[in-house]
Structure 1
Amino acid sequence: MTTPATVRMSLDEVRALALRVLLAVGLAPDHAAAVAQTMVAGERDGCTSHGLYRLLVAARSVAMGIAVPDAVPLVEEPATALVRVDGRGGFAQLPFETGRTLLVHKAKRCGIAAMALTNVVHFAALWPEVEALAEEGLAVLAMTPSHAWVAPEGGTKPVFGTNPIAFGWPRPGKAPFVFDLATSAIARGDIELHRRAGKPVPDHWGYDADGNVTTDAAAVLEGAMRTFGGHKGSALSAMVELLGGPLIGDMTSLESLALDNGRKGSPIGGELIIAIDPQGFMGELMADRFAAAEAMFAAIEGQGARLPSSRRHAARARSLAEGVDIPQALLDDIQALLEQA
């Protein structure tokens, strides 16, 4: 079997390409820098479905008028321990960066704080955000609805988004423990990568438009994805809908898809981030309780099980030293994008 052609690039080259394209398609420099950083993080950590491939997604969102390319985020403080950042229709990365310092300040002052990003366009992963906050010494939980692409367990018609949940735990002297999981059986970007490569998907990933189980990636994208873990994933997905939508005054995935009105653009909606300062509960027990957490991690890895985030950290070490391999076909699509711009 022939191996698809790839091009080795350094992470600096990945960043430069991402910035070049994002600026060319019309993003303001501050937005372009924030968006490019998440794409670099995706390639760096082996999460290619959230790497340079997302340039195609971002460009489409700008070209179709879904994302406001020069939106100026508005920061509000509705309560002592709350931050709200109205993204005014721009991509979510800059609103997060805009409110991040205030969220950290409030969490450390109050013990716990929450930030709502509203009216933002989502197309990337949550783990870069929770990792950044965990590096500040905070325990973090983040979640966001998306478009209604996922059927509830027992049904075959979309109601939920892929509705990821991300968590970060600070580890003194080590990289944070971080996981980011979709409540769908798989991230939508992974299905799209299968479609682009002409590869079938597992039959538990989704249904076609008629509600039939299928291994055709394109049919799943036109039909409905499935939740992970049956009714358990379905319940968690409903929770994300409520906390990341109505609770913060933003939309459900059904409303986001209706607003899209067939454009097949990136989801528009909200995101909830909860940050907790361990010092508040632990107090003088901090050293002992962090040691207990490390003992749990050791018990996981000691029996050969993989600790979530360890694969990303291993990929990070390799890519920092060796660079990353980018499919030539993707680079061709990106070059065509530049020529059109």
Structure 2
Amino acid sequence: MSPAPLKVALVGYGYVGKTFHAPLIAATPGLELHTVVSSDATKVRADFPDVPVVAADLIRALADPAIDLVVIATPDALHAPQAHAALDAGKHVVIDKPFTVTLEEARAVTAHAEKTGLLLSVFQNRRWDSDFLTLQALIDRGHLGQVVQYESHFDRFRPLVRDRWREKPGAGVLLDLGPHLIDQALVLFGMPQAVYADIAVQKDGGVAGDYFHLLLRYPRLRVLLHASQMTQATNLRMAVHGTGGSFIKSGLDAQEAHLKAGMKPGAPGYGEDPRPGVLIQLEDDEPVSTAVQPLPADYRAYYAGIRDAITAGAPNPVSPQEALRVMEVIDAAQRSAEQRREIAL
């Protein structure tokens, strides 16, 4: 007989909660979307008519003894206080990136989770991007040799300032997209020796940083992480160069577009990227290009890992210690941009 599924309360049903967390939770065996905390019950019930909606009352949801796991998908400033409240209520916690707004908040939440013995994890779903999985496989198989330069982009063209919390003071693309790019780099290469950052507001009327360029320095390797909302040529995703070859990939992982279009995780074609990357290697001193078909990907792997960590003691798919390292790099990048100098780690 299969064990009862873990009952999940999703806090927040904005873009991230609706597009990512709710469908992924609902489609992961062993998890049940039990409650949604949202002020917009109509929107939730249009997607999940049988799931109870608690109208923006986290305390009421936390009082429900049936709930095992709380997923926090609210604006960044609420992450830390809501995580503390959930841990106090004896619930396991998943927080959407960024972990918190500041490194100090992240350390406090981590210490709280360690004291309670409850699971705490940060939703770094882009470890399960098709392009990233493909790159990992190429590196593991030795096709690139020793990587000496890694360039990773999340560029978009959104020139108009929108009335949303992500474009208010204290937010911006470093906290929005930076955690993805930084986490992927740290998974591949570990912590750098130092960070240099350039952060800017490039939109007319903008007040939050909509551009960043980070240089992560390693003994030989250089990691370049870049995001812009004023880039019309948004196609480059990554360019990775090593002693054995180079890998170039254009176009973002398809899962976000699939989820926005209403495709169910696991449906035929879900997570498949039809745009191959290119592996360039020397043969007889001449560059030879080979198309590399991206590996299939599925963000449900993250939630399956959460399920197994809670029910079977499996490793946390994204530990708070890993999430803290991302916050350390973000903190160093913010100080670097303010002081206009490299910050050692």
Fold similarity call, TM over 0.5: no
Q: Name the TM-score class by shorter chain.
A: under 0.3
Q: Select the structure that is richer in helix.
A: 1
Task: Identify, as 1 or 2, the structure richer in strand.
Answer: 2
Query: TM-score, normalised on structure 2?
Result: 0.27
Q: Which has the higher contact order (CA 8 A, sep 6+)?
A: 1
